[in-house]
Amino acid sequence: MSLKADYLKYTLHFRFEAGTSRGTLTEKTSYVIRLFDDENPTVIGYGECGPLKGLSSDDRPDFDERLCHYCEEFTELDLQLFSWNIPIVLNQIISPEFPSILFGFETAMLDFLAGGQRIIQASAFTSGQRSLPINGLIWMGSQAFMREQIDEKLQAGYTTLKLKIGAIDFEKECDLLAMIRDRFPADQITLRVDANGAFQPNEAMAKLERLATFDLHSIEQPIRAGQPDLLADLCRHSPLPIALDEELIGNMEYMQKFRLLKKIQPQFIVLKPTLLGGLRHCDEWIELAGRLNIGWWLTSALESNIGLNAIAQYTAQFKHLLPQGLGTGQLYHNNIESPLVVEHGQLYYDPTRFWNLSPLLVDVSH
């Protein structure tokens, strides 16, 4: 038995121009890790590394080179893999400077150990007996485009909407929120907003007060990351619950996580395994959030269905979930076909549907 690792670069193409406060996205590059035993190459464990441009701490020019190096190092170790030694392998091989590679290797190893069937955590979710509540994501764009998305999501049965804000005129964004609230009170439709750090410190509180008039559930990252004192003050005095998102990135040590949450005391945290170093790091954030009485939910970071599937199965181990940010599988023209299905604001795993991994079965050359 000799375990080998390689990877395939895969470019996902959006169905529309996806606007954020950091710019407009039309495509997304992911790197799909494949683990296999050369004596039984039909069993392949897949994991996805998908750094986000301008956001991930491992969005750097040498990413391909480092990923190639880690695959070669993994192969040279000639490992025997067990569930108990996955954290050891990750700690020994991969630098915490590459959180998306940690996530990719972690989930590829879990998939391989489970027989290469894309079931990393069997549950009522993977047997089709349970669904996960998700929010409908409204991307930034013109007021007309955002209104069109809102209508589509409401017609599709979503009861929680999340609007990206901070790119168009703030008054127009408030008009959209007012339009939704005029039609649907808070007990019918839950509204979240995500500013992606777009508010300036001197205007943040006034905008939070204005947004609070629309009975919002929460706002993600109102100001840019790296201002913990100001953010702690906002969390103490804001009339609108605040969720940390980008603020969590780069805190890879347990005590770093604890100090950050203890200092800022947010109402919620948003967990993106690709940006935070994988599922075991999410375990730490969730444990700390529980101790500090902080709510949380998980969100994809625009992964293909390979990464989304792993995050969804991880999420399904928890009960009494808030709506999660896992509705991104429909974003792309060329996503990997999978059993993941979105219906009526819920994410399902349909075991009668099959994976089509043919785009990932080509020979890999670096």
**Which residues, 6+ apart, have CB-to-CB distance to 210 below 8 Å?**
170, 174
Domain extent for 45: 3-120
Look at the block and give the residue holding tokens 């392998």: 89
Regarding whether 75 and 151 lie in a shared domain, the answer is no
Regarding whether 171 and 74 lie in a shared domain, the answer is no
Q: How many domains does the chain have?
A: 2
Regarding whether 141 and 81 lie in a shared domain, the answer is no
Instruction: Return d(Cα 352, Cα 175) in angstroms, integer.
Output: 43
Q: What is the DSSP string of 179-237?
A: HHHHHS-TTT-EEEEE-TTBB-HHHHHHHHHHHHTT--SEEE-SB-SS-HHHHHHHHHH
Residue 138 domain flag: yes
Active-site residues, by number, are: 164, 272
pLDDT < 50 positions in the chain: 363-366
Regarding whether 190 and 87 lie in a shared domain, the answer is no
pLDDT for the residue numbered 365: 40
Residue 108 domain flag: yes
Regarding whether 198 and 54 lie in a shared domain, the answer is no
Regarding whether 139 and 241 lie in a shared domain, the answer is yes
* 33 in Cβ contact with 108 (< 8 Å): yes
Regarding whether 161 and 77 lie in a shared domain, the answer is no
Kindly report the CATH number assigned to the domain that includes residue 156: 3.20.20.120
Residue 53 domain flag: yes
* 149 in Cβ contact with 142 (< 8 Å): no
pLDDT in tens, 188-214: 999 999 998 999 999 999 999 999 999
Regarding whether 244 and 141 lie in a shared domain, the answer is yes
* Tokens of residue 293, six digits: 């009485």
Residue 366 domain flag: no
Residue 20 domain flag: yes
Kindly report the CATH number assigned to the domain that includes residue 45: 3.30.390.10
Regarding whether 41 and 160 lie in a shared domain, the answer is no
Q: Which of 54, 88, 120 is at the close of a domain?
A: 120
